[in-house]
Structure 1
Amino acid sequence: MIAILLTALLVQIPVVLNADVGWLLTVNEKILDGRKFGVDLFESNPPLSVYMYMPAAMLGRMTGIAPEFIVIVLVIAEISGALFVIDRAAAAAKLGARERSLSTWSFAFLLAILPGTIFGQREHIAVIALTPFVAITALRWRGLDPGRVAILAGVGAGLAMSIKPFFALVAGLPIILSALRQRSFRPLFTPEAWTAAIVVISYGAVVVAVFPAYLSTYAPMVAEAYLPIRRELSALLPIPIAVIGASLGFLRLSGPQNLKMGSAAIPWLAASVGGAASFLLQGKGWPYTAFALCLFAITAPLLQVGTKTLRAPVVIGGLATVVAIGLYLSSPAPGFPPLQARVQAYVKHPRLLTITDHIGLGHPLVRQIDGVWVGSSCAQLLAAGAMLRENSSQPSEGERARLDSIIEFERQQLLADVRNGRPNVILVDTSLLSSFPFDWLAWANSDPELRMELSRYREVEDVGRVRIFVDQSNSER
């Protein structure tokens, strides 16, 4: 187990953390500088998704160590904690040493190695926290008692659902299936289920009390303009069908009993189906949103066949499937050309701003070039969603007015960022949601005040879909 975790640590150190982690570390550094979340810093996800990276930002300032490295270490520590809870529950249930070892090695690999480039992402952290809860549900499915450590699993599940409410499907489907199987409500009221519910309710109360501005101002705009952005169902379905189909296939090959209702694999399959439902409901199609689906789909046959002797073709096919899933999870998003050297050729350590709907244009680029982010959000994502809704549907007059106000809100935030942040480099995208050609500069210039502010900048280069603008008063080439 230690070897697997150390391998993950060594693999992740030279890997550039993904755009979301880079942005959220930057947000927390801004908060430490005195900015207020939901007032002058905006993020589409709930507050816990932001503040969960605060320990890394604070430790980075206290020690001088790069926060990116601290994130890796803290996630490895979280994985170790999850493995400890799973093993203690297995020991309380009196499982054999071989089964416990297989479980520990399997989850060490699946939680630390399989994520690849999504390591440290919100979904990755949430699934780590959620896995002990599913493991304890699987023990109860077998009629075993996981002991008092189940309460810790409940805390993890509550935090996972607080990070993203969609994870309630992953945690809930296995226990609902247990209730149906037993024809009893008892599986719904276990100590871990009560603990998870208390954590979620407590978190909701904290959000209402501490972040009223986020709830009253920004969250409604997110619901109006961001959540409806989704891909067609026909484009989303192939992933769940392929992954769950492969899981069922390997369970069938390893033994017909693995697909019976009483099989120990059923809770893991149910969690995977919950992950599939979460993936489809979010509708974005980003690989990291399928992590729960993939991890629990692999777990279902892996824990069943690990103690058996299998034919070589089955083993090779299983390994190939796991590798394919890992490559899918780490597949790059529609991206941008390399910009580090090009930006630094004009300004060293720039004050950077972007005009785009894509978080990946400015992050983690600003950290890679040791620049200063001067924006109040990662991108103009809400404006993009509002414009897409206006052009692709027929909103009512009231809906159109709300969408127009969201677009204007984003434009005014951009104006404030340019005025107050005084960026010396602005990167302008030429694509809407990485799917349609779009003139973001013209969108910004439609506001007279913003056009006047942007007139100070001259375009020095265009690289692929990105136009680079530099403050004309900047003398450094």
Structure 2
Amino acid sequence: MTDKTPLIIGLLTALFFLFWVYLTYPLLMSDNNAVLILFAERFLDGGTFGQDIFDTNPPFSILIYAPVVWMKQVFGMTYHMGNFLYPLFLLALSLFLSAKALSSFTADRLSASAKTLVLSLFVLGVTLGSPQSWGERDMLAFFGLFPFALTVLTRTYELEKLGKIFTLLASVMGGLLVLLKPHFGLFIAILFLHRAFTQKQIRSSLLSIEFLTPLILTLLYGLLLITLLSGFSREILPDVLALYSNAPIHAATLYQFSIIIGALTLILWGLSETRFKGPTLFWIRFFAAFIMCALVGYLAQGKGLFYHLIPAKTTFLILGTLTLTAYLETFAKLKSFAPVISFILACATFFLFFSPLQNFNRVSAFSTLPFTEILQETCPEKQRCRAFIMHEALNGVPVTHLYADIEMSSRFSSLWWLAPIVENDNTALKEKYGTFLAEDLDKYKPHALILAQTAFGAQSQNKMQKAFHLTDYFSDNKIFKKAMSHYRKINARTINPSLYYRGTALYDPERTLKYDVYLLKNMNE
């Protein structure tokens, strides 16, 4: 049975993976991915940060999706297909690099069954555990960090000469993708501190490929931010820090954080017993350290979003399964079956808490979603539609533009800056952003405007929302008022924007918002 254990786990993983493909490919991509792809397209078409792209996400978060745009331009793929296949390629590369690094550990350090468990649960954690978040930046960062961390560990113990090309590939992938979520650098720092303590040689660590490569990539990115991408650093970043980053931590953040920390604490408490020693204890500590660092990053981001937990919850799945396997192997009658039993129990538990069998939005139903219906009624028939949908959060706006092929007629993906400006009565920023909106209206000349009648509470659990009209708020801005003079209001529509989050915790069937709908007076412009 022992010899066949990796094969059994591998076959089960393959079946689960195929099931995930069947479930996930028909689903709408996330708003985050949609807007980053649209901005990547705009940048590749010559757009600049500040003038054409004004978003809270740093430039690399946008540029990392450039391959999806190229896949459409070169191979004629839809953005939907590209958004599915591109992360899948990165996952395959990550899996290959991770398997190569793990193969360096002999059976007395990590058994073949344990290696298969680690790799299988890595795959299932990012696929079945996150179907509605496929391809999110936290996931991509994890794809880079996981094999890179294992490579650093392998070279720390000098188990096998992995080769310079392999080490460089793992280091480039890790160094690049971790730039998406720099807080993961904390775990990388811990790994190199561990190496310095283990080898008692700092100089060799600082001159290694796996240390120099991420360092050089980080310095090059920093250089780009002050030169070619200076629009972000100079124009966008100061406002992001002032208006967006100071948003309060959602209650859900602390709730989810406490659950994971509580479960992890129980495992660590179990480690204090004499049951686990040697390699088993080493690997449990390794994955536990990663989880702790990932959760620090989760709190640091402070938004309480599910996809920010992908690295932590996936690694927790690995940690819990390895711990359970080690425990079951202490029983002679269960020793041969322990990995398979642990794997099945882990998958069952994962399905219970992170079930992929939710009623998520599918591409086939996209035309029935509210913004699409409004634009189908209002857009001209003989030319590509241009639209501006105003909302303080994404709420289905980017996916509407992407799937309906409607030009996003603004430098903003959402009016993330609006609520802080209104609440703090910041006159200077009000004038600045009102002028930005006017400039975009003059530049893109959207055929339709869909403007939410609220600037507050769209993402909160509080259903009470303060009435707000964008046109009234900026009526004292002469440039904005002139730009709006080219539009006429045709009606107000009441819709439920949370329909775009069906199957998630953000969906509320009773929540509605009113939107004012405007049309360009001269639709031939």
Q: Does 1:439 align with 2:471?
A: no
Cα 1:237–1:129 change in 2 (3 A) is same
Matches within 5 A, 1:291-370: 291-306=310-325, 308=329, 309=334, 318-319=346-347, 321-323=349-351, 325-326=353-354, 338-347=370-379, 350-370=385-405
Structure 1's unaligned 5+ residue stretches are: 392-402
- Change beyond 3 A, Cα 1:453–1:475: closer
Partner of 1:129: 144
TM superposition shift of 1:184:
6.9
Aligned to 1:26: 38
In 2, distance between residues paired with 1:70 and 1:125? Answer: 15
Structure 1 residue 33 displacement after superposition = 3.2
Q: Does 1:79 align with 2:91?
A: yes
Residue aligned with 2:283, SS: coil
Aligned match of 2:412 in 373, 377, 388?
377
Partner of 1:117: 132
Contact 2:324 2:342 in 1 (8 A): no
In the TM superposition, what is the alpha-carbon distance from 1:327 to its structure 2 partner? 5.1
Conserved? CA contact 1:419–1:453, under 8 Å: yes
Deviations 1:250-299 (A, max 9, x none): 57679944599953111111111111111111111111122222222222
For residue 147 of structure 1, what is the amino acid of its counterpart? L
Q: Which amino acid aligns with 1:444?
A: F
Matched, 1:241 2:273: no
Amino acid at match of 2:468: D
Larger Rg: 2
**Shift in Å, 1:321:** 4.3
Answer yes or no: is 1:274 the counterpart of 2:293: yes
**Separation of aligned partners in 2, 1:322 and 1:315:** 10
Q: Choose from 431, 435, 438 the match for 1:415.
A: 438
Which residue of the other structure, out of 225, 228, 232, is the alignment partner of 1:214? Answer: 232
The aligned runs of 1:57-206 (5 Å cut-off) are 57-95=69-107, 96-137=111-152, 139=154, 144-145=159-160, 147-148=162-163, 149-176=166-193, 185=202, 189=206, 191-206=209-224
Q: Which residue of 1 aligns with 2:47?
A: 35
Q: C-alpha separation between the residues in 2 aligned to 1:312 and 1:44?
A: 44
8 Å contact 2:187–2:293 — kept in the other structure?
A: yes
The one-letter amino acid paired with 1:458 is: K
Which residue identity lines up with residue 354 of structure 1 in the other structure? I
Q: CA deviation at 1:17?
A: 0.3
**Equivalent position of 2:484 in the other structure:** 454
Secondary structure of 1:136's aligned partner: helix
Residue 406 of structure 1 corresponds to which residue in structure 2?
A: 429
Query: Are the aligned partners of 1:116 and 1:329 in contact in 2 as well (CA < 8 Å)?
Result: no
Assess if the C-alpha contact under 8 Å between 2:152 and 2:210 holds in 1: no
- Superposed displacement of residue 457, structure 1: 2.4
CA contact (8 A) 1:352 1:371 kept: yes
Query: How big is each residue's C-alpha offset from its partner over 1:196-217, in whole Å with a ceiling of 9 and x where there is no partner?
Result: 2222122222332311222222
Is the Cα–Cα contact under 8 Å of residues 42 and 52 in structure 2 kept in the other structure?
no
3-state SS in 1 of match to 2:412: coil
Hey, what's the Cα distance between the residues in 2 that align with 1:321 and 1:220? 44
What is the alpha-carbon distance in structure 1 between the residues aligned to residue 234 and residue 413 of structure 2?
A: 20
Q: If the length of structure 1 is used for normalisation, what is the TM-score?
A: 0.84
The 8 Å contact of residues 378 and 519 in structure 2, kept in 1 or not, is answered as no
The CA distance in 2 between the partners of 1:83 and 1:331, in whole Å, is 29
Once the two structures are overlaid, the 10-residue window that deviates more, 136-145 or 83-92, is: 136-145
Greater displacement, 370-379 / 134-143: 134-143
Is the 2:253–2:305 Cα contact (8 Å) retained in structure 1?
no
Measured after TM superposition, the shift of residue 411 of structure 1 is: 1.6
Give the 3 Å change call, closer, same or farther, for CA 13–154 of structure 1 in structure 2: same
User: Which AA in structure 2 matches 1:25?
Assistant: I
- Relative distance call for 1:312 and 1:287 in structure 2 (3 A) is same
Aligned equivalents of 1:239, 1:187: Cα separation in 2: 40
For residue 474 of structure 2, what is the amino acid of its counterpart? A
What amino acid sits opposite 2:180 in the alignment? Answer: I
In 1, distance between residues paired with 2:344 and 2:21? 27
Deviations 1:426-464 (A, max 9, x none): 121224252442514232334233234334221423222
Q: Could you tell me how far 1:332 is from its partner in structure 2? A: 8.8
Whether the 8 Å CA contact 1:151–1:195 is kept in 2: the answer is yes
Q: Structure 1 residues 91, 181: CA separation in 2 closer, same or farther (over 3 Å shift)?
A: closer
List gaps (5 residues or longer) in structure 2. Answer: 1-12, 362-368, 495-511
Decide whether the 8 Å contact of 2:117 with 2:318 is kept in 1: no
Q: Contact conserved, 2:29 with 2:83, CA < 8 A, in 1?
A: no
Shift of 1:116: 1.5
Is the CA contact (8 Å cut-off) linking 1:72 and 1:120 kept in structure 2?
yes
The alignment-based identity, stated in percent, is 18
Do the aligned partners of residues 305 and 350 (structure 1) sit closer, same or farther apart at CA in structure 2, a change above 3 Å counting? same
Matched position secondary structure for 1:274: helix
Letter in 1 for 2:141: A
**What's the Cα RMSD here?**
3.6
Letter in 1 for 2:515: R
Is residue 18–residue 118 contact of structure 1 (8 Å, CA) maintained in 2?
Answer: yes
Task: Render the CA deviation track for 1:205-246: whole Å, top value 9, x for unaligned.
Answer: 2332311222222222212222112326x6522212212322
Return the alpha-carbon distance in structure 2 between the equivalents of residues 228 and 415 of structure 1: 27
CA contact (8 A) 2:295 2:312 kept: yes
The one-letter code sitting in structure 2 at the alignment partner of 1:428 is L
Q: Is the 8 A contact 1:460 1:470 kept in 2?
A: yes
State which drifts further: 302-311 or 118-127.
302-311
Q: Which residue of 2 aligns with 1:223?
A: 241
Structure 1 residue 70, shift from structure 2 partner: 1.1
Deviation of the 1:84 alpha carbon: 0.6
Q: CA deviation at 1:425?
A: 1.7
